[in-house]
Structure 1
Amino acid sequence: MLPRQRWQIAAPVPDLAARLAGAFGLSPLVAQVLINRGITTCELAEHFLSPDSWVLPEPGAEFAQMGRAVELLAEAIVHNKPIAICGDYDCDGMTSTALLLRAVRALGGQIDYAIPSRMHEGYGINCRIVEEFFDRGVGLILTVDNGISAHGPIARAAELGMQVIVTDHHDLPDVLPVADAILNPKLMERTSPYAYLAGVGVAFVLAGELARRFEDNGDLQESLLELFTLGTVADLAPLVGVNRAWVLRGLARLPGSTNPGVQALLAVCGLLGRNDLKPEAIGFALGPRINAVGRIGDPVTVIELLTTDDPAVAAERAGECEQANQRRQVLCAQIEAEAIALVEAQQKDGLDLAQQRVLVLAQPGWHHGVIGIVASRLKERYGAPVFIAAIEGERVRGSARGIPEFHIYEALKFCADLLDGFGGHPMAGGFSLRGDQLEAFKVRLQDFARARLQPEQIAPLVEIDAAVQLAQINRALVEQLDRLQPCGLGNREPVFWVAGARVVQQKAMGKEGTHLQLLVSDGTAERRAVGWRQADYLPLPEFVDIAFSARRNEYQGTVKIELEVAGLRAATAAPFVLPAPPAFEESIEWHDHREGDGAAFLATFVPDQQRPVLLYGHERPQLPPGWPVHYDRPQENYRYEHLLLWSLPPSPLHLLWLLAVVRPRTVHLFAATVPAFHPWKLRHQLQASYRPGLPFEILRLSQHCWVSPRIVCEALVEERFLEDWRPVIDANLHGWLGAERLQLAEWYQSRADVLQELLRRPASLLQPLARSCDSLC
């Protein structure tokens, strides 16, 4: 059964899209995506499309206490004063830790680190770590991706005479801790290009400013760019401001990284040697392998992976990350299945998520290290905020994931008196509480959710940029969409939709049969589509509205364009809308060779061409190998200067199709005689190929038989496959005209007068051509 979804389709702005498209050489579809992102002027578009040209403000002007933080670190390095980092066990925290370890060591500093135990201590710096640092002689503590709410541990450090620099990006508490310096982008204006840095971004800026203090020319910070990119994308930081500019550079550097750990990680993911990495490579391959260690293993594995200069050590640690990820996948699948079964049982007992507006689940035996992933999957499945927890004796520890209209951190603050601890962002968070407070916590969350959400908002949200025809989803469009990269939070992947697409094929795929594979057609083209974790929607109805992002799939040197399903809903056959006839921007120069020696002309004309010509026609000659010539079907996205018509096409429709796709500067007409196709052969072809209710490709059959589509339609009526072909063509071609209906439907009605209007002058050549074409209708 198809899911209940909220489809939010952006309103088209065709005039503005056309202006932006013309100014930047874009498809109007890509221009519409820019408009949907708030980029509505040429100045904004120029800025967005050229992040390498940005002039950024100095970090010291944006981070009020950056100077103090750099001074403390520089003094510790110069005087060989031990420094220690307290990190975090997620990808952001571990890449932040590795980044600053590499930076301080490169500058000659004495630095170590500690990461709290996820299983036994939970998130953030604690007094045990502070006291352990003190016992090891540490004089300066540096928190990364944590610390902004750690009042007690930071106060304890001050009691012991240690200095503390807090680098964090989480939401601010009502009162800040008394640290020696605090670097947090939440303290600056939201208009700052640094305002959306993740924890690793703050660490990256600090490392760069520290390197500058030691008169490094920028090489050190540049060498840390891959770690910044890994942590930023994996933490789902908004890809705006400096994140957009730096992640774009970092993705380009990843394939050739000099960090052995990064290379080893690429190898275990099967991405080694790929030069076209996008954020999804981190989000679905690199990031999960790093995060898996923090969730169910020892973060030391990742720190060693990302800080070692020994390829053998890096390979070993990357292998350990791979093993942890495989264990994590098994745990997630198990907990997700149990959680879904629990929800379905509650729904049978009367649970109405639209009324409750928040999903709260807690079970003993669940591994709290992976429940955050399960929370994300449940949120995608049910479209509600999800709070999921592991019951561990008298203690409950959980993770939360939100929807756009629901602020997770504010929800947790609303329940603060019931919680032992909490933290997070608008879209995600973590919490802990005593078991005897669990029911009160559920009730409080429901009160918060009912005050902020409407029942209709409890459904997965599908944000859509524009309606398209499948024929528009091609390599040229995907290459233009790449100009919008990197895509992620704050610059989401473009999503398009097709109304009333026919589901030609559907099946489950993957080892466990959890994914959905489709072949869909809207009459303009067929495309393969993949729906990750959507196989339980099978069987799909015959017609669907399908929302998707476009992907380039490269396998063994072959590149195909496929769709990644973002949304599905039941539909009827698409309504038939006549497209405008093709327009030619340039006049076509016609050359009539019907009275001459066609073969002789080809022998002298074709070899002299710098680019291939297109030779089309019935029983047209086969020219010698190596000559610059293509035959019959024009190649995709290739503009030919010369079209050679050995014979006239079977109808004006075919001729118009050919001219619209080829867009030639000159047409050379030979008009060789085409033998008549016997009507009994046509009848045989119809009986062999026509199947009621299935697509029937009239143009291909008429091309094969070299007869007009009108003749094929009349033959269908004569054979009693159809009562009358005209109403079918005029009303709805979706069911049986097949893959070329939308592009070519109006051309079925083409006549010589339309042809003359499109082909323009010289009239002396058009008149005999028009008479010949009219006789073929």
Structure 2
Amino acid sequence: MRLERSRSTSVEPHLARLFPSQRWQVAPVQSRLAEQIARMTGLDPLLAQVLINRGLETPEQVQQFLEPESLILPSPLTEFADLGLSVELLLQAIAAQKEIAICGDYDADGMTSTALLLRALQALGARVNYAIPSRMQEGYGLNERIVEEFAGSGVQLILTVDNGIAAHRPITRARELGLAVIVTDHHDLPPELPCANAILNPKLLPHSSPYAGLAGVGVAYILAVSLAQSLGRTEDLVTALLELFTLGTIADLAPLTGVNRRWVKRGLALLPRSRFAGIQALIQVSGGLTSKQENQAFKPEAIGFRLGPRINAIGRIGDPQTVIDLLTTDDPMLAYAQAMVCEQTNQKRQQLCEEIEREAIAQLEAAQLDLERERVLVLVHPDWHHGVIGIVASRLVERYGVPVFIGSYEEQGQIRGSARGIPEFDVFGALQYCQDLLLKFGGHRAAGGFSLEADQLPALRSRLRDFAHLQLQPEQLKPLVTVDVEVHLSQITWELYHQIDRLHPCGIGNPEPVFWSAGVEVVEQKRIGKDQAHLKLVLAQTDLDSPQKIQWKATAWRWGRYYPLPTHLDVAYHLQSNTWNGETKLELELIGVRPASTRPANPIHRGNRSQGMAVVVEEKLEEQPSLPAAPEKITWSCPEPPSLDQLQPPQWLALEDLATLLPQLQGHLLIYGEQRPYLSVSATPALIAYDRPVQPCEVFILWTLPPSWTHLRWLLAKGQPRQIYVRNSQPQRPTAPELRARLRLHLSKYPDQPLNLLELGQKSWVAPCTIVAALRDMGYACGGFPPTSPLEQELLRLERWYSYPPQELAKLI
């Protein structure tokens, strides 16, 4: 499997051509439930199926999704433990006219957060200034230089935005100098929190909280609004700041669920007629709006493809002060001048990305790497601009379907890089696995940054390859296309397109619907654009009810290298409107193709529509599994672990400082739990095993508890530990609808196989009794399994289990 692996002759053997190498994940059809939701909402059944794919099954869930204003929100003061203290510290600073300083960040989230709090605090009478570290010289987050400068200029309160949660040394230094510190951040929590006076971070909230998905700008917005409310000064401030909240939330790719969905929907309606001179100028330099567009709410792509890149370009290769001035000025002339700087910087950013991507592809293809052997790509070049290599890494992941670590050489013989992953690969875990080779690193599961001495590059490449082999199987080394529902080309209408607006705003956590059509004919195709980089096509499919062929125009961005595509394909796509010379047309935007299906097209039947109701006139010929009409028996197994009679009672301890503990350990060590770290071999003298003990292990580190007492007994019986360190964190668990959806998918894939409750439970971090409760909720009779509580109660019980203190666990044995 080499870099040219996408060359395929399977569709038309007489032509050797490049063909997109993808793996499709098509959601199982649940036609009965889709019909029910369609009747209830007036949505097309095709879009009702999309809602099911998003985990929405009950009337309450669907209503809250379609009408986010109906969501009953808890007060942020009850959700964020330190919010009241943060407001009090700011009130005292404003009353005493103490100097407040904001430490921001150079990405869109950090810059919009900084501008939001600058505007809010100035409007509320505070003395406030700001600083943003240099991307190229200092890197991300609050540092000791900034702290010293703040202290030297008379600052008495530091307020971090979109950073600070891992800034232990700078915050400790600030406290030594007598400064108060409020951290507002949304990044992953370190094992120990810094010694700030107050910390606001949605990662400290339960996963079920509507505030759990806030970006940094969302935390800043809540703090600003709470402060304004405490002073009785909300006036127009709250609504105005929603524009900056929306801009930062979408540009940062925050999930558009929970409170984000509600507030972003409001903000998108405000942006076309923004009261901020800077946003109006940014709209103007990015193409402006027609009179019709001025009276319509923005869609997220207007930020993702127009406003956001121009702001982010400044953070990558420009001066962040440009964006802060842009978003805080009320002078239209200054705003337009700064917007033009953003525009010119973005053009330079685009050029840099194109050059680096072209050079990276040439480097990779010249190396003729075997991706099945490598499973990760590592590229370094002395002339690549660090500010944009993350964008290039994302494009290479999209092209090759494997994780990409890309870097550039800096002074003092060091490499500084960015990494992007695929769904099955943990980027932050990979960096932890290599930490003894790195000078500095950070990030999360999907992306990260790092630096190292240049002479460590061969070792890093080898270590990353080892880690990739631990995590990835060969079948996962293709770009993933997640598909919602099959559609016949004759079913595409303007009505369907406009109904998609009810699902907006779409983005992370609520992606734009992806349709697919089977056995489509490519009637015309040609390359278009600069360097012939894109494809323009005409696709056709025979009508369901007549011999007539239905045709639609389609665009495939960045697919020029695949020209010509085979004449018959399955296609996956978004619907998009395209306005040219005053005429607006509906078109398809291709995101996936595969060899044509041999079966006939079989989309969900939509029936006749009357007064907003879906009336089904025909059943599907080959309906896939959905909710059973009557209780069905299901075969299950839940293997009992060996007896613990021979186990010497281990010592149970709370895990407090992993870095201090590891050098003290000897013998064999098991590390288990969701998002548990990968350790370098030099981190501890112990021999490390992950997840399952293959032999006795003297020490267990449980990053999270196993999903149940049964799972824990299996671990104890196999590992025979003498000491067990428990971190007591809550793993990411599914909600009730998500669990039911996962079980439906499993049952549709493996209809004749017994359910192994232990294996299913481990995959979703739920107990066997939780799975049985979900199955019984779905109408399945799990004969022989003890009685269970309703599913929601079982999930609450599971939350209490994961918080069980070590001393209580010791009593169970």
Kindly report which structure 2 residues correspond to 1:506-545, keeping only aligned pairs within 5 A, or say none. 506-524=525-543, 525-545=550-570
Give per-residue Cα distances to partners, 1:695-724, cap 9 Å, x unaligned: xxxxxxxxxxxxxxxxxxxxxxxxxxxxxx
SS of the residue aligned with 1:489? coil
Q: 1:56 touches 1:193 (CA, 8 Å); kept in 2?
A: yes
- Partners in 2 of 1:566 and 1:36 — Cα distance? 18
Match of 1:554 in 2: 579
Matches within 5 A, 1:314-393: 314-347=335-368, 351-393=369-411
Equivalent positions of 1:296-695 (< 5 A) are 296-347=317-368, 351-393=369-411, 394-524=413-543, 525-571=550-596, 575=600
Residue of structure 1 equivalent to 2:199: 182
Q: Which digits, 9 at most, give the CA deviation of each residue in 1:42-86, with x for residues without a partner?
A: 221111110022221111111111111111111111111111111
Report the counterpart of residue 136 of structure 1 in structure 2.
Answer: 153
Moved more, 553-562 or 486-495: 553-562
Deviation at 1:425, TM superposition (A): 2.4
Which residue does 1:74 correspond to in 2? 91
How far residue 557 of structure 1 moved from its aligned partner, in angstroms, is 4.0
Contact 2:124 / 2:233 at 8 angstroms: preserved in 1?
Answer: no
Distance (Å, rounded) in 1 between the aligned partners of 2:516 and 2:353 = 31
Check conservation: 1:84, 1:111, Cα contact below 8 A.
yes
Question: Match for residue 240 of structure 1?
Answer: 257
Q: 1:39 to 1:356 in 2, by over 3 A?
A: same
Q: Is the 8 A contact 2:418 2:447 kept in 1?
A: yes
Q: Please tell me whether residue 263 in structure 1 is matched to residue 280 in structure 2.
A: yes
Q: In 2 relative to 1, CA 3–583 (structure 1 residues): closer, same or farther, beyond 3 Å?
A: closer
How many positions carry a matched residue from both structures?
Answer: 584
Q: 1:195 to 1:572 in 2, by over 3 A?
A: closer
Q: Structure 2 vs 1, CA of residues 526 and 444 (structure 1 numbering), >3 Å: closer, same or farther? A: same
RMSD between aligned alpha carbons?
A: 2.0
1:396–1:583: structure 2 CA closer, same or farther, 3 Å change rule? closer
Q: Write out per-residue CA displacement over residues 457-507 of structure 1, whole angstroms, 9 at most, x where no aligned residue.
A: 111000001111112111100111111111111111110111111111111
Instruction: Tell me, in whole angstroms, the C-alpha distance in 1 between the residues paired with 2:461 and 2:177.
Output: 40
| 1:218-237 equivalent positions in 2, closer than 5 A | 219-237=236-254
* Contact 1:553-1:561 at 8 Å conserved across structures: yes
Cα displacement (A) at 1:512? 3.1
Structure number with greater CO (CA < 8 Å, separation at least 6) is: 2
- The corresponding residue for 2:217 is 200
Q: Distance in 2 between matches of 1:439 and 1:155?
A: 36
| DSSP 3-state at the match of 1:512 | helix
Cα distance change, pair 563–156 in 1 and its aligned pair in 2 (3 A): same
Q: 1:252 and 1:563 mapped to 2: Cα distance?
A: 26
**Partner amino acid, structure 1, of 2:258:** G
Counterparts of 1:201 and 1:482, CA distance in 2: 24
Alpha-carbon distance in 2 for matches of 1:199, 1:578: 41
TM-superposed deviation, 1:430: 1.4
Letter in 2 for 1:388: I
State TM-score, norm by structure 1. Answer: 0.73
For 2:610 and 2:309, how far apart are their aligned partners in 1? Answer: 50
Q: Counterparts of 2:205 and 2:107 in 1: how far apart (Å)? A: 25
Normalising by structure 2, report the TM-score.
Answer: 0.70
**3-state DSSP of counterpart to 1:21:** helix
Give runs of aligned pairs for residues 22-101 of structure 1, distance below 5 A. Answer: 22-101=39-118
Quote how far apart the aligned CAs of 1:371 are: 0.3
Partner of 1:282: 303
Q: How far has the Cα of 1:518 moved from its partner?
A: 1.0
Q: Distance in 1 between matches of 2:146 and 2:600?
A: 66
Distance 1:218 1:401, change over 3 A: farther
Contact 2:256 2:508 in 1 (8 A): yes
Give distance in 2, aligned partners of 1:576 and 1:101: 56
User: Cα gap change, 1:365/1:585 in structure 2, threshold over 3 Å: closer, same or farther?
Assistant: closer
Deviation for aligned residue 1:151: 0.9
CA contact (8 A) 1:354 1:456 kept: no
Q: 409-418 or 104-113, which moves further after superposition? A: 409-418
* C-alpha distance in structure 1 between counterparts of 2:485 and 2:511, whole Å: 14
- Percent identical residues: 60
Contact 2:270 2:297 (8 Å CA) reproduced: no
Contact 2:487 2:603 (C-alpha < 8 Å) held by counterparts: no
Which of 17, 20, 28 is 2:37 aligned to? 20
Alignment match, 1:692 = none
The equivalent residue for 2:289 is 272
Q: Paired residue for 1:250?
A: 267
Distance of aligned partners of 1:70 and 1:345 in 2 relative to their CA distance in 1, 3 Å threshold: same
Q: Is the 8 A contact 1:501 1:573 kept in 2?
A: no
Task: Specify the SS of the correspondent of 1:374.
Answer: helix
Q: State the alpha-carbon separation in 1 of the partners of residues 218 and 425 from structure 2.
A: 26
Cα distance, 1:417 vs structure 2: 2.5
Question: CA separation of 1:584/1:73 partners in 2, compared to 1, >3 Å: closer, same or farther?
Answer: closer
Q: Please give the secondary structure, in 1, of the residue aligned with 2:542.
A: coil
Alpha-carbon distance in structure 1 between the residues aligned to 2:378 and 2:67? 44
- Give the equivalent residue in structure 1 for 2:178: 161
Q: Cα offset for 1:128?
A: 0.9
Amino acid at match of 1:361: L
Alignment CA distance shift 1:462-1:581 (3 Å) = closer
Q: Which structure's CA Rg is the greater one? A: 1
Q: Quote the offset at 1:438 in angstroms.
A: 2.0
Letter in 2 for 1:33: V
Q: Give the partner amino acid of 1:373.
A: I
1:272 is paired with a residue of what secondary structure? coil
Question: Do 2:438 and 2:451's aligned partners in 1 also have CA atoms closer than 8 Å?
Answer: yes
Kindly state the Cα deviation for residue 569 of structure 1 after the two structures are TM-superposed.
2.1
Corresponding residue number in structure 2 for 1:634: none
Aligned in 2, Cα 1:218/1:399: closer, same or farther, shift over 3 Å? Answer: farther
SS at match of 1:522: strand
Q: By how many angstroms is 1:574 displaced?
A: 7.0
Q: Which residue of 2 aligns with 1:655?
A: none
Matched residues in 2 for 1:161 and 1:205: separation? 26
Give the Cα separation in 1 of the matches to 2:424 and 2:186.
Answer: 21
